[in-house]
Amino acid sequence: MLDHVMRPLIDQPLDRIGGALARAGLSANGVTLIGFAMGVGAMAALALQIYWAALVLIGLNRLMDGLDGAVARQSGGGSDYGGFLDIVLDFIVYAGVIFAFAVGRPEHALVAAFLVFSYMGTAASFLAYAIIAAKREMTTDARGRKSFYFLGGLAEGTETALVMAAICIVPDWFPWIAIGYGVVCWLTTLGRILAARAAFR
pLDDT of residue 109: 97
pLDDT of residue 110: 98
Identity of the residue numbered 183: V
Output the domain CATH number for residue 96: 1.20.120.1760
pLDDT of residue 51: 98
Q: How many domains does the chain have?
A: 1
Using the predicted structure, report yes or no on whether residue 49 has a pLDDT greater than 80: yes
Banded model confidence at residue 66, pLDDT cuts 50, 70, 90? confident
Banded model confidence at residue 155, pLDDT cuts 50, 70, 90? confident
Banded model confidence at residue 16, pLDDT cuts 50, 70, 90? confident
172-186: pLDDT as tens digits: 999 999 999 999 999
pLDDT of residue 191: 92
C-alpha 170/C-alpha 134 separation (Å) is 40
pLDDT of residue 177: 97
User: What is the 3-class SS of the chain, one letter each residue?
Assistant: CCHHHHHHHHHHHHHHHHHHHHHCCCCHHHHHHHHHHHHHHHHHHHHCCCHHHHHHHHHHHHHHHHHHHHHHHHCCCCCHHHHHHHHHHHHHHHHHHHHHHHHHCHHHHHHHHHHHHHHHHHHHHHHHHHHHHHHCCCCCCECECCCCCCCCCCCCHHHHHHHHHHHHHCHHHHHHHHHHHHHHHHHHHHHHHHHHHHHHC
Tell me if 58 sits within 8 A of 39, measured CB to CB.
Answer: yes
pLDDT of residue 187: 95
User: Which amino acids are annotated catalytic?
Assistant: 90
Q: Give the other-Cβ count within 10 Å of 187's Cβ.
A: 16
C-alpha 131/C-alpha 149 separation (Å) is 8
- What is the reported pTM? 0.86
Q: Give the other-Cβ count within 10 Å of 18's Cβ.
A: 24
Banded model confidence at residue 13, pLDDT cuts 50, 70, 90? confident
81-136: pLDDT as tens digits: 988 999 999 999 999 999 999 999 999 999 999 999 999 999 999 999 888 888 87
Tell me if 148 sits within 8 A of 169, measured CB to CB.
Answer: no
pLDDT of residue 141: 62
Tell me if 151 sits within 8 A of 87, measured CB to CB.
Answer: no
Distance of CA 73 to the CA centre of its chain: 19
Banded model confidence at residue 3, pLDDT cuts 50, 70, 90? low
Identity of the residue numbered 178: A
pLDDT of residue 62: 94
Average pLDDT over residues 9-14: 72
Domain containing 64 equals 3-200
